[in-house]
Structure 1
Amino acid sequence: HMVDDDHEAETSGKDGAQNVAAWSSTWNIRQFQQIGGPSVTVWRELRRLREAIDFDDVVERARNAADSSNWSRYVEVMG
């Protein structure tokens, strides 16, 4: 967005963005998820849970971190 030219790829910004989108779609790669980090999907699902998890301490700590919007603590808990 708002890139005139991609000098490294020797193409326009618009063409470069379309190429990146096609590449990530072809290989089923999320463009903005850090490698090796915990799942954002799990974070979102844990935020939906309202009751405490009493059968797994790690899941409960992760749920608690997600529920309090504490991403850094969630990452620590998830390892």
Structure 2
Amino acid sequence: MNNELVKLATSYKENINETSNLALKQNDGDIRKARKWLKEQLFYTADRATSELIKLSIDNLWDYQGVSSKETISDVL
């Protein structure tokens, strides 16, 4: 794969993780509330790129779906 594409993809993954972390921070580490908060943010943006970033961040948090809603990411990791 082209090195430029790899660099862009890496940057994009970092943005997704940062967005997920922001959602967790806004919701005291509660994964369920973080996903709900991100879904609410979709209503506040008309920008397609931002919407896609939010959707990918929600999916990123789904990776922790086996975690109890009372557990936090730090409890799991």
TM exceeds 0.5?
no
TM superposition score normalised by structure 1: 0.33
Which protein has the bigger strand share? 1
Larger radius of gyration, structure 1 or 2?
A: 1
- Normalized against structure 2, the TM-score is what? 0.34
